[in-house]
Structure 1
Amino acid sequence: MAMTDQPWSNVEPLPRLNGDLVPVLESVRTLQRAWKAVVASNDPGFREARRRSLRRHAIETGIIERLYDVDWGVTEALVAEGLTADAAARVPDGVISEDVLEIIRSQYDALEFLAEAAREGRDVSVSLIKELHVALTRRQATYTATGPTGLVFQATLHHGQWKTQANHVTRPDGSRLEYTPPEHVASQMDELVLLYRETEGEDPLVRAAWLHHRFVRIHPFEDGNGRVARCLTLLTLLKCDLAPLVVDRRERDRYLRCLDSANEGDLRPLARFFAELEIVALRSELERPPVDVSTAEPAVGALAVLGAGIDRLRVLRAESGASERAARVADLAAAVQERVDAWMTEMAARFGEMLQEVDAQAKATVQSAAPPDDRARFWRWQVVQAARSADFFANMRDGVWWTRLRLAALGQELRYLVFLQKVGQGETGVLALTVYAEMPSRDAEEGARQSADPVVVSTPTETVTWSYTEAPDADWPGTVDVLETTLAAALHKFSSTLG
């Protein structure tokens, strides 16, 4: 996308967006209803899932800003176990400095403050924005600044205070994006809050996208603006009983592209991006963590732990409407798989013809399976990895609906797998499509079990989610987009090895 220099501009009201957002926004509302039917705010599992979401946000928000870096394995440990050095140390080669941990903890505390503000009904205001900045940056004493001569230095960060120096950014294509000059920040922030409150009746994700972008365009603080903007997005969503979405490192490039589209006058990509991340967040919170063995009475030990687990499983299976949700999600999965199979079969025919131009023995085949077929339990490791990458729990109790496209040419093989799997423990009534592609290793020893190298695994937004109340073609264009994007990435890796 060719971009032009953007001088600073006054805050403008939320524009009218066209209907191409309707399917994804409706999917959010449908999933939210399913989420409410399964998750109760006083449920311990829900509270732990929410804490994990906030921990992930606290870690990733600083990584997005290049404030620090944290290994992915360490991140997963901190999310699962808590923001402690001990949690990081349990990861092989897991290292994180105490300074970085302190920054992350302060960001987590700011998110807890935000959640409490939402529970109290506090709305966006200038005073709340300044409080958020103080909370988010309290462990950050300086920021990287550039002087008039181009000299880069560490400047003192003034917490909760508007900037006093003009700032701008030079984008990758060389175009210049100017932020609001210091002398106009106070009036523009007042206008931002006023216009935001006038959008009360709009979809919360559209409101959140507009607020996020317009705040970033003002850039009222010396540093920490992105972190504050993402917090304001969460406040908007939490007040509307939605889950806290997370922009993680894997989504950074798309996030920045969406912001640039908004800078050029099109807010729709950012609104869609937030909607897709909200689907990921709701889906993730449907996971209920296993029984915490640390709470078992020492005197009864293992029996108490097993008994608690069985009691919990009994409750999950007896939940109101569980049988209906299970039946309807199975019908939904079968209908979606039928469409996926047809799409994959058509692609296989095309790929086969193309590959036979360079290898007469080349093959392109499609195979699938579904519960209760025993083959539905194939690919277990790949299913779990795809779900984990997309940040949810893979329910493997009855197996999954899978479709495999296999390409073989010139001694190389690609396996592109599409999974339809239930989300969460119990019968949540939520179904997710994920993707995993792998290439068998050429250098495995003869007679040894063949290993395979992953080449594509779904990111959180490279998925599709349905509630059991939705039609299989609720957002079929979005499904095809995920399939085409991930298959293209897999084919790029595969074709580069041919020859």
Structure 2
Amino acid sequence: MLWQPIEDLTSNWQNLASSELPPLVTVWDEQAERLRTSGEFKTFMDRLRREIAIETGIIERLYTIDRGITRLLIEQGINEALIPHGATDRPIQQVVSLIQDQEAAIEGLFDFVGGQRTLSTSYIKQLHQVLTENQDSAEALDPLTGKIIPVRLIRGDWKRQPNNPMRPDGTIHEYCPPEQVASEMDRLIGLHHQHQNQKIPPEIESAWLHHRFTQIHPFQDGNGRVARCLASLVFIQAGWFPLVLTRDDRAAYIAASEQADHGNLQSLINLFSKSQKQAFIRSLGLSEQVLSETRRTQIIIASIAEKLKQNQSASLQKRNLKVEKFAANLFDIAYIRLQDVANEIKLSVQNLVSNADIFTIYAPVGDARSYYHRYQIVETAKQLGYFANLRSYHTWMQLVIDVETSTTFLLSFHVLGHEYRGLLVCSACAYHRDNTEEGERNISDIQALSDSPFQFSYADDEGNLIERFKQWLEDVILTGLEYWNKSL
């Protein structure tokens, strides 16, 4: 692929914006201040920063770390003593140093925003210096032998030689020539400042800045790490969360970046939006966990007082009633669609299986069975990393497919987090019911049917909400049918 000078956003950039994030941001903004004033927000953000620091090195293939050890480091801190022999493919001390470099860079982004500084090429060079503090070499193509060889890494300054990688198919991907880097970086910064004045939404600007920076590829190595930091910077300036991409996102991240190379930025925007949505959902759920872990009397008393105050708030009641009205509409849409799926399955198997039994069942608001299926719903919430509150609001529906084996799809509408502040979610899972020797049917193999629950709030636009939900529901049904197919 030949190098081209970077391009500005297209004139129809408004069409690229996420409709999911603004209402979620509204709910988060109201809860964030309460969490920050508790003094425990730092604990939560420290864990998030450690996760980003570890995973970005894995994405770049600087090292590997077992998932279990990764979780331990996130919870307890970056410490050599927590990494056993064989848990990583590099010397432990070197891995820890590399992770600490990433962590220092992320911490520096918050300091940069707090100091109300303006993005410049000098800061980007400083960022690269921090990120590569403990990296001595980079890989380069030897023009004489055609082999990849290690070369000394230039820290904190633009590249002096071309760094065009060879793809597996033998083609060369061209980045900006060294002699053009300074002018292209100046243009990048200038356009970014224009976008800030235009109030470009963070998910669009972060993806644009990330991609155009990688097109330039101004450094000898470490460009991916710097690009993700720049994307994080845009989000932090908006009061959102640093960009979280893990090893599981690597394939989608590469595919989205390649689509952006061909002029389509939408996939990268969607990936970054998904990351932010998951961060908001995790923060709303896990922030309560952080608070509960402290067990401090002052925080508990303050929390109780806040709950009493909010429970008495007429505005909060109006918000809850509004989001419950949305939930009722989405519930009807989902149930009708599940009935259609049930009828389609019946028609397809009626001449093949004599004892097939396919049916739907539901428990609307106020139903005596609304507390059913708690185990499956809580387990699904654990898989997706949030707390499912079934006390304040709960409805559910099922599609049961008894064809040779018993498979159930379960949709649940409930509150996210310990407190009900006008934010609901719909989760979806599938599971099997197996016959035991005692004649009972055990639940097994519970699997979430989406990578995050469908979240909605009083701040949503109903038209956009319904379209979002229908698309999410179709993806859930498709995943559920694949789950059923594998069980046959």
Pair in the same fold by TM > 0.5:
yes
**In structure 1, how many angstroms separate the alpha carbons of the residues matched to 2:293 and 2:380?**
29
In structure 1, the residue matched to 2:361 is: 367
Whether 1:46 and 2:41 are equivalent positions in the alignment is yes
Q: Go from structure 1 to structure 2 and tell me whether the alpha carbon gap of 1:34 and 1:455 turns closer, same or farther (over 3 Å shift).
A: closer
Deviation at 1:492, TM superposition (A): 2.4
**In structure 2, how many angstroms separate the alpha carbons of the residues matched to 1:98 and 1:387?**
36
DSSP-derived class of the 2:464 partner: coil
Contact 2:399 2:410 in 1 (8 A): yes
Deviations 1:170-194 (A, max 9, x none): 5577764321122222221122111
DSSP-derived class of the 1:39 partner: helix
Deviation at 1:126, TM superposition (A): 0.8
Contact 2:26 2:459 in 1 (8 A): no
Q: Following superposition of structure 1 onto structure 2, how do residues 37-186 of structure 1 map, counting pairs within 5 Å?
A: 37-40=30-33, 41-84=36-79, 95=87, 97-148=92-143, 149-170=145-166, 176-186=172-182
Q: Go from structure 1 to structure 2 and tell me whether the alpha carbon gap of 1:496 and 1:32 turns closer, same or farther (over 3 Å shift).
A: closer
DSSP-derived class of the 1:178 partner: coil
Deviation at 1:80, TM superposition (A): 3.5
Q: Give 5+ residue unaligned stretches, structure 2.
A: none
Q: Go from structure 1 to structure 2 and tell me whether the alpha carbon gap of 1:136 and 1:279 turns closer, same or farther (over 3 Å shift).
A: same
Q: Go from structure 1 to structure 2 and tell me whether the alpha carbon gap of 1:314 and 1:172 turns closer, same or farther (over 3 Å shift).
A: farther
Q: Give 5+ residue unaligned stretches, structure 1.
A: 1-5, 297-303
Contact 2:241 2:279 in 1 (8 A): yes
In structure 1, the residue matched to 2:445 is: 453
In structure 2, the residue matched to 1:488 is: 478
Whether 1:17 and 2:12 are equivalent positions in the alignment is yes
Whether 1:431 and 2:431 are equivalent positions in the alignment is no
Contact 1:110 1:136 in 2 (8 A): yes
Matching residue's letter, 1:387: A
Deviation at 1:339, TM superposition (A): 1.5
Q: Go from structure 1 to structure 2 and tell me whether the alpha carbon gap of 1:10 and 1:457 turns closer, same or farther (over 3 Å shift).
A: same
Amino-acid identity (%): 30
**In structure 2, how many angstroms separate the alpha carbons of the residues matched to 1:292 and 1:95?**
31
Deviations 1:368-421 (A, max 9, x none): 234544533333343334334434332243363322222221x22322222333
Contact 1:250 1:459 in 2 (8 A): no
Count of matched residue pairs: 476
Contact 2:388 2:416 in 1 (8 A): yes
DSSP-derived class of the 2:399 partner: strand
DSSP-derived class of the 2:392 partner: coil
Matching residue's letter, 1:255: Y
Deviations 1:43-73 (A, max 9, x none): 4343333333222222222222222233333
Contact 1:377 1:399 in 2 (8 A): no
Contact 1:49 1:289 in 2 (8 A): no
* Equivalent position to 2:195, from 195, 199, 212: 199
Matching residue's letter, 1:368: Y
Q: Go from structure 1 to structure 2 and tell me whether the alpha carbon gap of 1:176 and 1:345 turns closer, same or farther (over 3 Å shift).
A: farther
Whether 1:315 and 2:309 are equivalent positions in the alignment is no
In structure 1, the residue matched to 2:262 is: 264
DSSP-derived class of the 1:420 partner: strand
Q: Go from structure 1 to structure 2 and tell me whether the alpha carbon gap of 1:358 and 1:65 turns closer, same or farther (over 3 Å shift).
A: farther
* Equivalent position to 1:468, from 458, 461, 483: 458
Matching residue's letter, 1:487: I
In structure 2, the residue matched to 1:28 is: 21
**In structure 2, how many angstroms separate the alpha carbons of the residues matched to 1:173 and 1:404?**
48
Q: Quick check: 188-197 or 416-425, which moved more?
A: 416-425
**In structure 1, how many angstroms separate the alpha carbons of the residues matched to 2:325 and 2:71?**
34
Deviation at 1:214, TM superposition (A): 0.5
DSSP-derived class of the 1:377 partner: coil
Q: Go from structure 1 to structure 2 and tell me whether the alpha carbon gap of 1:196 and 1:377 turns closer, same or farther (over 3 Å shift).
A: same
In structure 2, the residue matched to 1:299 is: none
Aligned-CA RMSD value: 3.1
Deviation at 1:27, TM superposition (A): 3.0
* Equivalent position to 1:327, from 300, 321, 324: 321
Deviation at 1:311, TM superposition (A): 5.1
Deviation at 1:114, TM superposition (A): 0.5
Deviation at 1:365, TM superposition (A): 2.0
Q: Following superposition of structure 1 onto structure 2, how do residues 298-309 of structure 1 map, counting pairs within 5 Å?
A: 309=300
Q: Go from structure 1 to structure 2 and tell me whether the alpha carbon gap of 1:172 and 1:28 turns closer, same or farther (over 3 Å shift).
A: farther
**In structure 2, how many angstroms separate the alpha carbons of the residues matched to 1:366 and 1:229?**
48
**In structure 1, how many angstroms separate the alpha carbons of the residues matched to 2:478 and 2:323?**
29
Contact 2:202 2:238 in 1 (8 A): yes
Matching residue's letter, 1:376: S
Q: Go from structure 1 to structure 2 and tell me whether the alpha carbon gap of 1:406 and 1:76 turns closer, same or farther (over 3 Å shift).
A: farther
Deviations 1:243-273 (A, max 9, x none): 2231223332222222122111111222233
**In structure 1, how many angstroms separate the alpha carbons of the residues matched to 2:201 and 2:243?**
16
Q: Go from structure 1 to structure 2 and tell me whether the alpha carbon gap of 1:110 and 1:448 turns closer, same or farther (over 3 Å shift).
A: farther
**In structure 2, how many angstroms separate the alpha carbons of the residues matched to 1:378 and 1:7?**
59
**In structure 2, how many angstroms separate the alpha carbons of the residues matched to 1:415 and 1:339?**
19
Matching residue's letter, 2:350: Q
Contact 2:392 2:420 in 1 (8 A): no
DSSP-derived class of the 1:395 partner: strand
TM-score, with length taken from structure 1: 0.85
Q: Go from structure 1 to structure 2 and tell me whether the alpha carbon gap of 1:475 and 1:262 turns closer, same or farther (over 3 Å shift).
A: farther
DSSP-derived class of the 2:415 partner: strand
DSSP-derived class of the 1:286 partner: helix
Matching residue's letter, 2:464: A
Q: Go from structure 1 to structure 2 and tell me whether the alpha carbon gap of 1:292 and 1:211 turns closer, same or farther (over 3 Å shift).
A: closer
Q: Go from structure 1 to structure 2 and tell me whether the alpha carbon gap of 1:245 and 1:294 turns closer, same or farther (over 3 Å shift).
A: closer
Deviation at 1:236, TM superposition (A): 1.0
Q: Go from structure 1 to structure 2 and tell me whether the alpha carbon gap of 1:466 and 1:138 turns closer, same or farther (over 3 Å shift).
A: same
**In structure 2, how many angstroms separate the alpha carbons of the residues matched to 1:168 and 1:404?**
53
